[in-house]
Chains A and B, each alone.
Chain A
Amino acid sequence: MPTLIFLYFAAIIVVTAALVVALRNPIYSALSLLVMFFHVAGLYVTLHAEFLAAIQIIVYAGAILVLYLFVVMLLNVKRDDRYNRQGPVALFLGAVLLTEVVLLTASHGLTVASPGPAADGERVAGNTEAIGEVLYSTYLFPFEMASLILLAAMIGAVILSKKDIMESKSS
């Protein structure tokens, strides 16, 4: 039964991911990416990562994708968008990656090292509480760095999208 649920999520994820690349209208691409984000969140729930599932929906589907849709509708993109001439390169790289996946799964016979000692202490506590404890103790410095990255992105976005910053300065 869990395998069946996984296969459902995986099939929807792969199909909607292919639709993101294949559809010509950017709005339809963004909406199929929305469906994919929801199913990835469902996959996280089956993996007992409930906090990440909630974050996936709130941040990806709620913030990032709305930003995409906003820009698509702001720019009024024409839909006669054709494919690039880099098709052979894409085909080559895709074939290399695909054979890598097939060879790795075939040669190792679909076996990964047995799971290590399960940290049962973390399993008893809630997922959110456990993540919070790890995040604010072991990964405190990367967490602060993440805030710095967000600050830099915020300043960069404001400066990039500001209209005629040089002219307003000179006038």
Chain B
Amino acid sequence: MTVPVEFYMVLSGLVFLIGLVGVLIRRNLIIILLSVELMLNATNINFVAFSAHFGNLAGQVFVFFALTVAAAEVAVGLAIIIALYRHHAGINVDDFRLLKW
């Protein structure tokens, strides 16, 4: 492993940044969930890079748990999107203002 771990940190930071900007600027709920997946993948890259750097397998185990949470998040999130689509005939986040002040 000759690639320094800082490269992985910078890559992970960039991907997390793109995901955060995507969550904030897009109006389509599905794209927002995809951006959350981007952020989860950024943390996973960091976990695996440090796991290889320190020779400790705990990082890879935590990627496993992050993946479990991502799967649960997708299942519930997509169910919520389908329920919203049934009631409002759209998944634009600006249309849902019931809980807005």
Contacts and interface: CB of A to CB of B under 8 A. Distances in A.
Contacts of B94: 84
B41 A40 contact: yes
Contact of B72 (A3, A60, A90, A153): A153
B6 A112 contact: yes
A51 B48 CA distance: 11
A168 interface: no
Contact of A153 (B16, B24, B31, B71): B71
Interface residues of A, number: 84
Interface residues of B, number: 72
B42 to A, nearest CB: 8
A112 B54 CA distance: 11
Nearest to B23: A90
Interface in B4-35: 4-7, 9-11, 13-22, 24-28, 30-31, 33-35
Nearest to B17: A97
B24 A123 contact: no
B11 A13 contact: yes
B1 to A, nearest CB: 7
Contact of A131 (B3, B31, B60, B76): B60
Nearest to B39: A17
Contacts of A111: 6
A154 B68 CA distance: 12
A5 to B, nearest CB: 8
A37 to B, nearest CB: 7
Contact of B34 (A33, A116, A120, A153): A33
Contacts of B37: 33, 60, 64
Interface of A: 2-3, 6, 10, 13-14, 17-18, 20-21, 26, 29-30, 33, 36-37, 40, 43-44, 46-49, 51-52, 55-56, 59-60, 63-64, 67-68, 71-72, 74-75, 77, 81-84, 86-87, 89-91, 93-94, 97-98, 100-101, 105, 110-112, 115-120, 122-123, 130-131, 134-135, 138-139, 142, 146, 149-150, 152-154, 156-158, 160-161, 163
26 contacts: A2-B3, A3-B2, A14-B14, A21-B25, A26-B30, A26-B34, A33-B37, A33-B38, A43-B45, A48-B52, A49-B48, A84-B24, A90-B25, A97-B20, A101-B14, A105-B6, A110-B4, A118-B54, A119-B56, A122-B55, A135-B64, A146-B65, A150-B72, A152-B72, A156-B75, A163-B86
